[in-house]
Amino acid sequence: MSLVEVNHLNKIYQMGEVTISALKDVSLDIEAGTFVSIVGPSGSGKSTILNLVGCLDQPTSGSIKVVNQEVGELNNKQRADFRGQHLGFVFQNFNLIPVLSVYENVEYPLLMVKNESSAKHKDRILKLLDAVGVIDQKDKRPSQISGGQMQRVAVARALITQPKLVIADEPTANLDHDTAYKIINLMKEMKNQFNTTFVFSTHDPKIIGEAEIIYTLEDGMIKNREDRRTK
């Protein structure tokens, strides 16, 4: 089953007199429960496509269906609701809230979106912190843990609402190579455990090989699709 269907997608940025065609007639299809990498050089359109699939921005033309919803048609409020219900995000700068503890950072999306009581979700948060390997850090602030640990917390925060799709824009860009591998493998483990679909972008060739499906972007166009599951 397709979780994401993108057809003939175009994105044009207008900056004063200058027109930038960031995506040109992009079509792609992402099955539920797969681990997908979007690769390509800097400026090839990776973030643009993730922002569009992640309902953070609107296309100039073309269709984007996520969980059978045409997301290009949603207004700002509907897009925010849709993100809260179906999507999780991991960013290259981790984007944790500095004044909250590790535990509270993971709890935050539940308070914002699901409106659940804290007693009910405590167990779930602790289990997830354990699964991503930061249970011992649960009372620390982000500034008291390492970059790799911060990204583990960010992965837990993305998963706590049990989203269908997690979007990770260059999640390993600010990590050393060993830590980057560990984070990618953690995301893969979480994918297997929760059957969540992960789409991540990277321009690190060594990380790319960990994906099941690899889309290569060049100058705003899909140049190649590789399915490594059959190998």
13 vs 97 by CB, closer to ligand ADP: 13
CA distance 83 to 211: 24
Q: Which stretch binds ligand ADP (CB under 6 A): 40-48, 64-72, 90-98, 176-184?
A: 40-48
Asked if 93 touches ligand ADP (CB under 6 A), the answer is no
| Region from 42-50, 106-114, 154-162, 188-196 binding ligand ADP, contact rule CB under 6 A | 42-50
Q: At what angle do helices 147-159 and 118-131 cross, to 10 degrees?
A: 130
Instruction: State the pairing for strand pair 61-66/69-70.
Output: antiparallel
**Contact map string, positions 48 to 87, toward ligand ADP, x by CB under 6 A:** x---------------------------------------
Position among 37, 47, 105, 196 found at the interface with ligand ADP (CB under 6 A):
47
- Report the distance separating Cα 110 and Cα 106, nearest Å: 8
> Which residue of 37, 39, 45, 151 would you call a contact of ligand ADP, by CB under 6 A?
45
Asked whether 181 and 17 are in contact (CB, 8 A), the reply is no
Q: Which is nearer to ligand ADP, 13 or 144 (CB)?
A: 13
Please pick, from the candidates 7, 8, 13, 70, the single residue that binds ligand ADP as defined by CB under 6 A. Answer: 13
CB of 22 to ligand ADP, least distance (A): 3
Cβ neighbours, 10 Å, residue 18? 7
197 phi/psi in degrees, rounded to 5: -85, 130
Q: How far apart are CA 155 and CA 138, in angstroms?
A: 14
Say if residues 160 and 125 touch (Cβ distance below 8 Å): yes
Q: Which residues bind ligand ADP (CB under 6 A)?
A: 13, 15, 20, 22, 40, 42-48
